[in-house]
Chain A
Amino acid sequence: MPLQSRVNQYPGVNAHLQSYYQANTGWVGFHQAYIMQLEATLQEVLRPYGYLVDNTTSMQIKELPTDGEDAGRPYKIFADVGIRDFVPTKEHPPIIYGTGGVVALEMPIWESVHVDEEHFLRAIAIREMNPEDKRPGRIVTWLEVLSPSNKPGGSDYPTYLEKRISVIGAGINLIELDFIHWRGPVVAGLPHYLSHPRTGERDSDAMPYYIAVTNPHPTIYDGKATIYTFGPAEAIPVITIPLARDEKVGFDFGDPYRKTFSADARAYLVDYEQLPEEFATYNKRDQGYIRALMGTIAHHQDELDQGPFPVEDLKPPNGNE
């Protein structure tokens, strides 16, 4: 009998669920749902302050350059990115059926329109509201929830790096949420969580998840990037989001995560009696925490609606030792 709960039993990112997505499919659905929760929550927080939030196709940022020879002319930072022909693969085989001379070919919609599934992923744009007509104005902050394809080793990684620079170069604040621990970070200089492919060594300081806040103000050269790293033992942190001018807002990214986890069927993908799939991709510190948390969950299995519960019998973290 699996040990399940509609309530996320982790204080933050659910390593069991993330690992399920690592080993199977479904990350896209989670990503979309999380984006929608983020949008709704951010809108509620920011609307009285004169900001509007909308979700937009992640790979097709449009913005008006504010200076230079392109000033005032709309342009696509990435036109037609990632469009490719449908090639049947082992993961996405076509289904062919029919009778007589009629044959139907069934395939995922994203492939029928020659666009990769992950290119339907959406991001969030925070815009200033035009005071005159109260319509959405310029983008001041762009928020991305990274997908595996955006990260090193992913098919869109080079394009994503280019996009990062374009967003920051346009003077837009960039927030990146990275819960994909099984691929390296997109932010340069961060310790790699995964073991070195040849030596097998790990950086004991590395954490599996991070939120990066890049504020390119007053200029891209003088701005700064702040990286908040955390693991499965920590809550998703409250982050200060830079907005227009000198305005900023503290935002709890954990709240929409908890709501996303509890909605629909995804909470039931997790069985707390079993170790997460791909368990070896976590370091010893996090493996120790996950095992201890599973013991705590089992101890409280009749009251999981009141969770998550603190892990009390955890041995001191020992990195990779």
Chain B
Amino acid sequence: MRPLDRLLTATNETEFFVLICQLVNVSDEKPLSAKLASIKTPLGVGLQLTVRQAMRYRTNDGTLLQWDTTHVFTLDEQGALSWWMPNQPIITGLKDIQASLKQWWEKEPATPVLGLLA
């Protein structure tokens, strides 16, 4: 089963979160890094997975190499799951996240994080 299918068939938020943590745990030679941290949330505490990607940008005087935060997954102690991406509204709830994930994978399958799902 593809990692994508495992994520899409996860039956609860905790299962999804554990799977995505395992998926982005890659070698340091990949242009991707992930950090898991405990955080304070408005309703208590939670776990936050921050995914950063090694990007390249053309500028007027060269090529800028820069690590950007591209995904943040948060699971709070009540079991609520959210997914943040830059310049996108935060997606909450397992069903909406799975639906968006499927759409993004179909649209941009080659991006580093989504490429891991194949």
Whether A69 sits at the interface, judged by CB under 8 Å, is no
Q: How many A-B residue pairs have CB under 8 A?
A: 35
One of B30, B61, B63, B64 near A48 (C-beta < 8 A)? B30
A247 at the interface (CB under 8 A from B): yes
Q: Does A3 contact B (CB under 8 A)?
A: no
Q: Verify A248–B63 contact, CB threshold 8 A.
A: yes
In the complex, A44 has a CB within 8 A of chain B? yes
Q: Which of B28, B56, B66 contacts A47 (CB 8 A)?
A: B28
Contacts of A47 in B (CB 8 A): 28-29
B54 touching A248, Cβ below 8 Å: no
Given the complex, which residues of A lie within 8 Å of B43, measured CB to CB?
A: none
Q: Do A45 and B67 touch (CB < 8 A)?
A: yes
A250 adjacent to chain B (CB < 8 Å):
yes
Q: Which residues of B contact A46 (CB under 8 A)?
A: 65
Q: Is A132 an interface residue (CB 8 A)?
A: no
Given A48-B54, A49-B54, A250 and B64 touching (CB < 8 A)?
yes
B62 within 8 A of A: yes
Question: Chain A: how many interface residues by the 8 Å CB criterion?
Answer: 14
With a cutoff of 8 Å between Cβ atoms, the chain A residues found around residue B62 in the complex are: 245-248
Q: Is A125 an interface residue (CB 8 A)?
A: no
Q: Are B61 and A250 in contact (CB under 8 A)?
A: no
Contact B31 A247 (CB under 8 A): no
Contacts of B33 in A (CB 8 A): 44
Is A249 engaged at the interface, CB distance under 8 Å to the other chain?
A: yes
Nearest CB of chain B from residue A173's CB, rounded to whole Å: 12
On whether the beta carbons of A247 and B28 are closer than 8 Å, the reply is: no
A13 at the interface (CB under 8 A from B): no
Please tell me if the beta carbons of B28 and A249 are within 8 angstroms of each other in the complex: no
Within 8 A of A (CB), among B48-65: 54, 56, 61-65
Closest chain B residue, CB of each to CB of A43: B28
Q: Is A17 an interface residue (CB 8 A)?
A: no
A46 to B28, CA, bound (A): 10
Contacts of B67 in A (CB 8 A): 45
B22-81 interface with A by 8 A CB criterion: 28-33, 54, 56, 61-67
Partner of B64, one of A44, A45, A245, A248: A248
A243 located at the interface, meaning its Cβ lies under 8 Å from any Cβ of chain B in the complex: yes
Q: Which residues of A contact B63 (CB under 8 A)?
A: 245-248
**Are A49 and B65 closer than 8 Å at their CB atoms?**
yes
Known contacts A48-B54, A49-B54: A249-B29 contact under CB 8 Å: no
Measured in the bound complex, the distance between the Cα atoms of B84 and A201 in whole Å is: 55
Rounded to whole angstroms, the CA-CA distance of A246 and B67 in the bound complex is: 17
Complex formed: what's the CA distance from A48 to B62 in Å? 18
Interfacial chain B residues near A246, Cβ < 8 Å: 61-63
Report how far A45 CA is from B63 CA in the complex, Å: 15
Interface residues of A in 31-57 (CB under 8 A from B): 44-49
CA distance in complex: A144, B13 (Å): 48
Q: Are A249 and B66 in contact (CB under 8 A)?
A: yes
Hey, which chain A residues are within 8 Å of B32, CB to CB?
48
Chain B residues lying within 8 Å of A45, measured Cβ to Cβ, are 67
Residues of B that sit less than 8 Å from A by CB: 28-33, 54, 56, 61-67
12 interchain pairs (CB within 8 A)? A44-B33, A46-B65, A47-B28, A48-B28, A48-B29, A48-B30, A48-B31, A243-B65, A246-B62, A248-B62, A249-B66, A250-B64
> Which 7 residue pairs of A and B lie closest in terms of their CB atoms, listed nearest first?
A246-B62, A48-B31, A249-B65, A48-B54, A247-B63, A49-B65, A246-B63
